Amino acid sequence: MKLNLAGHTIKRIAFVGNYLPRQCGIATFTTDLCEAVAAQYSGTTCIALPINDIETGYAYPNRVRFELAEKDINSYLRASDFLNINDVDMVCLQFEYGIFGGKVGSHILALLRGLRMPIVTTLHTILENPNRDQRHVLEEVAALSDRLVVMSERGSEFLQKIYNVSPEKIDLIPHGIPDVPFVDPSFNKDLFGVEGKTVLLSFGLLSASKGIETVISALPDIVLRYPDLVYIVVGATHPHVIQNEGETYRLSLQWLAQQKGVESNVIFYNRFVSLEELVEFISAADIYITPYLNEAQIVSGTLAYTLGAGKAVISTPYWYAQEMLSDGRGVLVPFRDPKALAEQVIKLLDNEADRHAMRKRAYIFGRKMIWSEVAKRYMESFKRARVERRHYIPPGFTAKALDKHPGELPPLKLNHLDHLTDYTGILQHALFTVPNYAHGYTTDDNARALLVSVLLDKLGNRKSVGFASRYLAFLGFAFNEQTKRFRNFMDYQRNWMESVGSDDSQGRTLWALGIVLNHANALSLKGLSGWLFEQTLPTVLLTTSPRAWAFALIGIDEYLQKFGGDRRVSHVRDELAGRLLTLYQNNRTEDWRWYEKSLSYCNAALPHALMICGKSIPNDAMTNAGLESLSWLAKLHRADAGHFVPIGSNGFYHLGGERARFDQQPVEAQAMVSACLEAFRITGDKLWNKEARRAFEWFLGRNDLNLSVYDPTTGGCRDGLHSDRLNENQGAESTLAFLQSLLELRLAEQTHLSMEAVK
């Protein structure tokens, strides 16, 4: 049905996606699209909401009005409210799994669900074989969007056949390109000192998937025929590659050029260039080459730019290239085939008339891709989205009830953690907020600190690797190769006070090592962690503490999520989990649903461990026992007034005896937060999320004394709640208990289930 779009003006458009000066292709595209629409429609206000992958953000232009933190789901919720109350008529989203936080970019769903205006989404990635999570996220993005923009016919086909999107909802709009003249390649060669030479060009952020080595390997044959030829590679290494791998790929290319004897024919221009510089480089090229290694690429901005500039293009046959270079607009060569590439380069250089005819076909084809034309096509899509929306409601603020939009978590503050940490590790105790040297260090606390560091790493905190390296070094020093166990207590002079530490310190260390091996981004941490895990694992079977078993089982489960085929580790898990289940079955009664005849410390860790083992083995008896005992414990921990009341450490709670109300310890709240979040992940029951929040609020003052155990001025946590006052000392165990709880809650908000809970 043809719609009448006349008279439908859009006054304010928000573009959501990465934005320059961040260095990535999505940032360039979003910036160019936003600026093109603003230039073409002077009566329309265009604003941008970029996603930051670093805490400091970027030096954005004035068009940027709101910045999102990639891994903080609350910033997506705040962005949704910001757009709703700021008279935004239209949101244009740039979708790419990797730029948003959460599992496969699922955080963006939290923003989209809250918006009250039409949404037009440009899809930069459409996978032919998505996994379950990728399919779910893209299907929900498609459902929440009023229109979907694709840049190739294949993208449209995938949406219809794989994701069941109606063709009526899809707009095919080409990738935008700058409007440049059709010039002779020799015109700008003097700018780069290559006048009189034949120039091959590749550009874009450098990473191993770009296949530059294929071109370098082809150069010897090409240079043999055209000795005055140079190959220019323009672009900085991708920032995420730099962060994880450094310049390893670029160095390997330089060494390959030397090995092939073509180092004098290769020029690396290691910078993220401006559009003006890029146009000059493109204009100087005789042949442009995209030697990408992966067929599954639905769009390429670099190919679009060079095609539209009227360049002779040789490419590997990834999807976008197959479409764009058809009808004689370019040449395709097989993946990873230097010989075929060399033959085609020589053929094009030998046949100048054919090369220039190809250039002309490409340039004419590219006229419909210049940004001014693309901006018009997008505006048509925006207007269509607005007209088609059946029940359009003007933007406005909608207050959310607390059960739909829980109160925000406290800001992360690491001052006291930094204060307690020295070059050896984390100190055990503090006198008020001052580190107490008299009590030295423990493996227990350094294992807790290592775990917290990995959680910080998952949230993108830049301090995490420095912290983790120091705490892991402590654990490595604590390991006794003779006993295959960890020592626990060390004095301030770095003297060990024992040869073998407590059972609990063995279990806690395995927990931390399992977290490192499953989640740490820094490969440098995994070698030592893997060795320590392997060495100490058998000795945990010799321990007798059920809590040591529980701590170890949580770490083992983390390990097996990454290395599920390790039968030796699975055997240890099955043995320890069986012991816990037997304990529960032997001690459980209708009135006492517990593993022992008493409740003491870190109680919730026992059902936590049994639940996850029941899920992963799988063993329904374990899962049910874990959930049943955790439910009983949660009820026991709930005061008549509704707040969290852990078992006090001044006597604990023995079957048939009096329950100790005080001293209440932070580790009890942390253990309950962790266990309840796991129960929520397993069952999907939102009541477990509420129990986790109830336990966490104990830190913030929802407790027997209505006093905040957490100290927001230092970022530390007081050591406990007495019957009449706080314990004002802020030691490592307490501070780490608070930080672990806070970080686990933040990470839980990144999951799809947590986002469902805050809809």
Instruction: Give me the percent of the chain exceeding a pLDDT of 70.
Output: 95
Residue 523 has what pLDDT? 85
Specify the pLDDT at position 398: 44
The per-residue DSSP string of 55-68 comes to TT-----TTB---E
Residues 110 and 206 reside in one and the same domain: no
Is the pLDDT score of 16 beyond 60?
Answer: yes
pLDDT of 754 strictly over 80: no
d(CA 233, CA 273): 12
Residues 80 and 98 in one domain: yes
Q: What is the pLDDT of residue 62?
A: 95
Q: What is the pLDDT of residues 477-524, one digit of tens each?
A: 999 999 999 999 999 999 999 999 999 999 999 999 999 999 998 888
Residue 402 has pLDDT above 50, yes or no: no
pLDDT for the residue numbered 752: 44
**Above 60 in pLDDT, residue 407?**
no
User: How sure is the predictor about 406, in pLDDT bands with cuts at 50, 70 and 90?
Assistant: low
Q: Does any domain span residue 408?
A: no
The contacts of residue 373 (CB under 8 Å, 6+ apart) are 367
Residue-wise pLDDT tens digits, 703-749: 999 999 999 999 999 999 999 999 999 999 999 999 999 999 988 87
Residue 310 and residue 428 share a domain: no
Contact yes or no for 392/386 (Cβ under 8 A)? yes
| Residue 727 phi, psi (nearest 5) | -85, 110
| Cα distances (angstroms) measured from residue 141 to each of 106, 121, 367 | 9, 8, 31
- Domains of the chain: total: 4
Residue 598 confidence (pLDDT): 96
Same domain, 361 and 376: no
Output 657 or 459, whichever has higher pLDDT. 657
624 in any annotated domain: no
Instruction: State how beta strands 147-150 and 119-123 pair.
Output: parallel
- Looking at 544, 579, 598, the residue that finishes a domain is 544
The C-alpha atoms of residue 201 and residue 482 are separated, in whole angstroms, by 60
Question: Which range scores top for mean pLDDT: 21-25, 518-522, 617-621?
Answer: 617-621
Tell me which of 441 and 296 has the higher pLDDT. Answer: 441
Confidence at residue 89, expressed as pLDDT on a 0 to 100 scale: 94
3 state SS for 365-384: HHHHHEHHHHHHHHHHHHHH
pLDDT at 404 over 90: no
Are residue 146 and residue 258 in the same domain, yes or no? Answer: no
Assess if residue 614 is contained within a domain: no
Residue 743 is predicted with a pLDDT of 95
666 and 720 in contact (C-beta within 8 Å)? yes
pLDDT value of residue 248: 86
Please tell me whether residues 108 and 200 are part of one structural domain: no
Residue by residue, what is the 3-state secondary structure of 101-124? CCHHHCHHHHHHHHCCCCEEEEEC
Cβ neighbours of residue 660 under 8 Å, at least 6 residues apart?
A: 647, 648, 649, 650, 651, 652, 653
For 5, left (φ over 0), alpha (ψ -120 to 50), or beta?
alpha
Domain's final residue, options 333, 367, 401: 367
Number of alpha carbons in the 13 Å side-chain half-sphere of residue 573: 30
Tell me the residue range of the domain where 164 lies: 12-176+372-388
For residues 193 and 214, state if they share a domain: yes
Helix (H) or strand (E) holding 694: helix 686-700
Please check whether residue 631 lies inside any domain of the structure: no
Average pLDDT over residues 304-322: 94
What is the structure's pLDDT at 390?
47
Summary mean pLDDT of the chain: 92
Strand 229-234 and strand 198-203: the pairing is parallel
Transcribe 441-498 into DSSP letters: EEHHHHHHHHHHHHHHHHTT-TTHHHHHHHHHHHHHHHEETTTTEE--EE-TTS-BS-
Give residue 391's pLDDT: 41
Closest C-alpha among 472, 428, 459, 424 to residue 72: 459
Instruction: Read off the tokens for 644.
Output: 């969290």
Q: Is residue 406 a part of any domain in this protein? A: no
> What is the number of alpha carbons within 13 Å of residue 40 lying toward its C-beta?
18
Q: Is residue 584 part of a domain?
A: no
DSSP conformation letters of 596-660: SSEE-SSTTHHHHHHHHHHHHTT-HHHHHHHHHHHHHHHHHTB-TTS-B-PPPTTT-EETTSPBP
Q: Is the pLDDT of residue 460 over 80?
A: no
Domain boundary among 544, 561, 595: 544
Shared-domain flag, residues 230 and 355 = yes
Q: How far is residue 30's CA from residue 95's CA, in Å, rounded to a whole number?
A: 10
Q: What is the mean pLDDT of residues 377-386?
A: 95
Distances (CA, A) of 195 to 62, 180, 191, 265, 277: 40, 21, 8, 14, 17
Task: State the Cα–Cα distance between residues 58 and 710, nearest whole angstrom.
Answer: 32
Confidence of residue 389 (pLDDT cuts 50, 70, 90): confident
Encode burial over 112-126: b for 16+ CB neighbours within 10 A, e otherwise: bbbbbbbbbbbbbbb
Going by the DSSP 8-state scheme, the letter that residue 197 receives in this structure is: S
For residue 565, give the DSSP letter: T
Helices (H) and strands (E) in the chain, counts: 27, 25
At 501, which CATH number? 1.50.10.10
Tell me the two tokens of residue 624.
């049910």
Is 401 inside a domain boundary? no
**What is the reported pLDDT for 5?**
61
Asked if residue 648 lies in contact with residue 660, where contact means CB atoms within 8 angstroms, the answer is yes
Question: Per-residue pLDDT tens for 200-219?
Answer: 999 988 888 899 999 999 99
450 and 376 co-located in one domain: no
Instruction: With respect to residue 563, please indicate whether it lies within any of the assigned structural domains.
Output: no
Query: Are 156 and 189 contained in the same domain?
Result: no
Note the helical H segments in 226-313.
239-245, 248-260, 275-284, 301-308
The CA R_g of the chain, rounded to the nearest whole Å, is 30
- What is residue 45's predicted lDDT score, i.e. its pLDDT? 96
In the predicted structure, residue 22 carries a pLDDT above the cut 60 = yes
357 and 379 housed in the same domain: no
As a whole number, mean pLDDT of residues 64-86 equals 90
In this predicted model, what pLDDT tens digit does every residue of 625-650 receive, in sequence order? 999 999 999 999 999 999 999 999 99
The answer on 135 and 204 residing in a single domain is: no
Question: Residue 165 is part of a domain; what is its CATH number?
Answer: 3.40.50.2000
